[in-house]
Amino acid sequence: MEKVYARNDELTDNRSLSSKPLPAQNAGKILAGEDFFRMTPAEHLDEARRALADGYTLDANPVKSTWGRVRDARKHLEEIRPTCPQYKAARKLLRETLVRERLIDNICLNITNQIMIRQREMLARELAQYYKGRGLYVDIELSGPDKTFMKLASPVFRETTVDRIIDETNFLTYLKEAGFSKVVMSDDDENVWTYNPGKLRRRDETDERD
């Protein structure tokens, strides 16, 4: 849980096994148009192996790993039909391709999530500075999964003040864009106003503490 304060005083080896490789000018790339569809199943399989082996390196830090040309490999493998002798080998290679695709997707999602967390932290700090610049005390707390809950507590909050913030500004819109899923505002009298920025609708709660 993180708090931000605004105060007056401080606010597998994939080498090709082909015995009949494609010409050098065509190997290692997706062929366009009719050339691609004229390739034999054996050529598609070899090109898929080359694609997966191209630049494939693993690092202790997944972000620094390179996974080969998985999209190219998949395109070639999907051209090999069940009636082809290469089909069994192609299915095995396709499973490896799908595993790599899932790893890449997970890495991308994790990076995006970390960026969004930092964005929410930055927004909270900027909001604290905003109130500090106006001589107001506001206790801003981030919590919840991936810091998607924001709680603002201040003795200056009143129903009319909160209504004006919600109805006359883009406060909830900014929080929605930053990925917040819950915003709570409270005063010293234990009045609490709770919002879901995703729905942009207010749910009033009085005499309630989270």
Instruction: Check residue 67 and give its pLDDT.
Output: 92
Contacts 24+ apart (CB under 8 A), 201-208: 202/166
Provide block-wise average pLDDT over 10 residues at a time, the chain (210 residues): 49 38 51 79 95 92 90 94 96 96 94 95 94 92 96 93 90 93 92 86 43
Instruction: Check residue 180 and give its pLDDT.
Output: 95
Residue pointed to by tokens 């709680």: 151
Instruction: Check residue 61 and give its pLDDT.
Output: 87
Q: Which residues contact 71 (CB under 8 A, 6 or more apart)?
A: none
Neighbouring C-beta atoms of residue 37, cutoff 10 Å: 10
Q: Which residue type sits at 7?
A: R
Domain range list for the chain: 2-7+117-206, 33-110
CA distance 171 to 111: 26
Instruction: Check residue 26 and give its pLDDT.
Output: 52
Phi and psi based region of residue 179 (left: phi greater than 0; alpha: psi -120 to 50; beta: remaining): left
